[in-house]
């Protein structure tokens, strides 16, 4: 009996998206040195980028609110300096949940204009039947930009570059020029199908475009931090983009042939990649449906 109930519990926990398994008490923050003074922090939610140096700490994304103390402790292990600047790559809660705590601790929060706009209002994610309430005022980005901006900070030039609608309509990628690191936000899920958040203006063509924008900046030594998954490089990103282009082409053929979304799902246009990329929280069905919706709305 006991063994059965444990099995049932495990099966139940596998049935929900990663971000709904919110046992944050068990989460530990892992710190990975990416290049020079640039680090990646991994806990639960999107990968955090961090630059430390004499000017202060510069943070990209901040996971979930219950993790803020642990994240701040991990940063304090690397530097005595305060977090001065925080940039959100996009509005999703697994990247912005710590905003209020970091803001109260003195960080100035930056993001694309649409991040503040979406965080200011209730959102609905149809693919997961999920309502997302507006964020409190203290969590909202203070400084917003429409195209790009540069932080001359810790001896580096850190560019925040807005890309055309991709994962959402408010994505930015961050490029550390001297450290030669790019943080992609959720325009790159390393090892998984992407989440094309079509309800938030996301677009598969934009995700592919963001990847090529990054590759136009990168060289073979560039470290590429994805929104989720391990650190990659230009070759790794290029391989993932190949998969996106092939599945996009397969889906476009089905749409051109007049298939409905359910018919396209049954036709399994992603079959050759499902084993390699379907193991994240974006399952085959999610990716296939969102790919259909994205290409149908063009």
* 92 forms part of the interface with Zn ion (CB under 5 A): yes
Least separation in angstroms between CB 117 and Zn ion:
16
Least separation in angstroms between CB 95 and Zn ion:
6
Of 18 and 32, CB closest to Zn ion: 18
Of 61 and 100, CB closest to Zn ion: 61
Mark 8-47 with x for binding to Zn ion (rule: CB under 5 A) and - for no binding: ----------------------------------------
- From the list 30-38, 152-160, 172-180, 183-191, the region that binds Zn ion by CB under 5 A is 183-191
Of 89 and 154, CB closest to Zn ion: 89
- From the list 89-97, 204-212, 218-226, 284-292, the region that binds Zn ion by CB under 5 A is 89-97
* 289 forms part of the interface with Zn ion (CB under 5 A): no
* 186 forms part of the interface with Zn ion (CB under 5 A): yes
Q: Edge-to-edge, what's the strand order for the sheet holding 223-225?
A: 148-153, 156-162, 172-176, 181-183, 223-225, 232-233
Least separation in angstroms between CB 37 and Zn ion:
26
- From the list 2-10, 64-72, 91-99, 106-114, the region that binds Zn ion by CB under 5 A is 91-99
Q: What SS3 string covers the chain? A: CHHHHHHHHHHHHHCCCHHHCCCHHHCCCEEEEEECCEEEEECCCCCEEEECCCCCEEEECCCCHHHHHHHHHHHHCCCCCCEEEEECCCCCHHHHCCHHHHHHCCCEEEEEHHHHHHHCCCEEEHHHCEEECCCCHHHCCCEEECCEEEEEECCEEEEEEECCCCCCCCCEEEEECCCCEEECHHHCECCCCCCCCHHHCCCHHHHHHHHHHHHHHCCCCCEEECCECCCEEHHHHHHHHHHHHHHHHHHHHHHHCCCCHHHHHHCCCCHHHHHHHCCCCCCHHHHHHHHHHHHHCC
Least separation in angstroms between CB 195 and Zn ion:
6
Of 127 and 179, CB closest to Zn ion: 127
* 286 forms part of the interface with Zn ion (CB under 5 A): no
- From the list 77-85, 124-132, 178-186, 244-252, the region that binds Zn ion by CB under 5 A is 178-186
Of 92 and 284, CB closest to Zn ion: 92
Q: Where on the chain is the footprint of Zn ion (CB under 5 A)?
A: 92, 186
């Amino acid at each position: 009996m006991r063994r059965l109930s444990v099995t049932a519990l495990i099966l139940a926990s596998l049935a929900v998206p990663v971000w709904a398994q919110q046992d944050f008490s068990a989460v530990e923050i892992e710190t990975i040195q990416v290049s020079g003074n640039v680090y990646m922090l991994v806990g639960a939610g999107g990968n955090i980028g961090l630059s430390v140096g004499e000017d202060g700490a510069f943070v990209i994304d901040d996971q979930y609110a219950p993790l803020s103390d642990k994240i701040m402790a991990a940063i304090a292990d690397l530097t005595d300096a305060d977090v001065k600047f925080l940039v959100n790559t996009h509005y999703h809660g697994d990247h912005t949940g710590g905003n209020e705590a970091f803001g109260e601790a003195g960080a100035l929060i930056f993001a694309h204009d649409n991040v503040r706009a979406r965080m200011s209002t209730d959102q609905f994610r149809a693919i997961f039947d999920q309502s997302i309430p507006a964020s409190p005022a203290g969590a909202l980005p203070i400084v917003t930009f429409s195209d790009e901006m540069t932080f001359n900070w810790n001896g580096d030039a850190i560019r925040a570059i807005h890309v055309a609608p991709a994962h959402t309509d408010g994505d930015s990628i961050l490029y550390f020029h001297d450290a030669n690191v790019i943080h992609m936000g959720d325009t790159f899920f390393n090892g998984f199908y992407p989440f094309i958040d079509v309800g938030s203006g996301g677009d598969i063509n934009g995700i592919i475009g963001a990847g090529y924008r990054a590759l136009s900046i990168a060289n073979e030594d560039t470290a590429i931090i994805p929104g989720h998954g391990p650190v990659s490089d230009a070759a790794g990103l290029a391989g993932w983009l190949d998969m996106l282009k092939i599945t996009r082409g397969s889906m476009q053929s089905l749409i051109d042939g007049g298939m409905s979304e359910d018919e396209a799902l049954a036709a399994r246009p992603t079959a050759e990649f499902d084993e390699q990329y379907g193991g994240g929280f974006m399952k085959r069905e999610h990716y296939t449906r969102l790919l259909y919706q994205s290409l149908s709305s063009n």
